[in-house]
Structure 1
């Protein structure tokens, strides 16, 4: 498989996870457990149908596979859900981004500790990187809201005064 297919497969795994796992995706999509399992398995070449992608992305509210397809053609999707962006707090988003960064550093350190990165280790690191991407996206969304509002209080308090 080439890098594009690995990105699509990672997006499919994330989509299945965000939709509640394999069995819930079976119920939502009408595809068999075996087929959904192959979509979820990075070693299998099976890709979701456009119909399944549309149903599942609508279900979880995130265009994960569609975003990868757009990026392949030099495009980016925009998130029309301003309400979600407004609810994201910059401090919480920053904390989650830092947590995900540490988790990624740990996963990579483990993967390279023996001087060889296996496909299984690459899959593990890729899953963690997906979490980091989500955290960065949430932080960027909260910052966009702050810019649109012309600024915001940071919500920090000095303890002990």
Structure 2
């Protein structure tokens, strides 16, 4: 990376952050910095950089670590969200549970339909409806698994409520 490429990367992130919080005036209100100073931080050709207190205030307001992420990238790092990993594992567990529930419903409907060795139109329709729901739940389960695979897997640190 060229010697001043970092500057342009951070300035770009600053502009994005100012836009995310609602523009120069809103960024000034949030950070208690004058609009003209925020304007200089927003200008790609001006050398004014955001102090960390301003970065923190603005990122906290919008919930997106735009400048922090850019700084991490410049150091060859990336940010991670431990909450997202937990949600991914919870998603797998919930999706798997839904798949099993829909599979059980299909088995129950099918067992009742086949018990007399005669499948009626209504029973076939009910089994088809349960099979379609199972297909949808399997698709959601596979998507949840893809998220876990993309994040590298790991142990789901779940806790039982009430213990």
TM-score, length-scaled by structure 1: 0.51
Residue 43 of structure 1 is matched in structure 2 by 45
Structure 1 residues 148, 24: closer, same or farther in 2, change over 3 A?
same
Residue 67 of structure 2 is matched in structure 1 by 65
Residue 6 of structure 2 is matched in structure 1 by 4
Map 1:16-27 → 2, pairs under 5 A: 16-27=18-29
In the alignment, structure 1 segments of 5+ residues that lack a partner are 87-142, 151-161
In the alignment, structure 2 segments of 5+ residues that lack a partner are 89-141, 150-163
Aligned length, in residue pairs? 93
Cα deviation for residue 30 of structure 1 reads 0.3
Structure 1 residues 81, 44: closer, same or farther in 2, change over 3 A?
farther
Per-residue Cα deviation, 1:54-99 (whole angstroms, up to 9, x for no partner):
111111111110111111111100134539x88xxxxxxxxxxxxx
Superposition RMSD in Å: 2.6
CA distance in 1: counterparts of 2:70 and 2:144, whole angstroms:
24
CA distance in 2: counterparts of 1:13 and 1:29, whole angstroms:
15
CA distance in 1: counterparts of 2:18 and 2:144, whole angstroms:
29
Higher RCO (CA < 8 A, seq sep 6+): 1
- State the 4+ residue runs in structure 1 displaced beyond 6 angstroms: none
Higher-Rg structure is 2
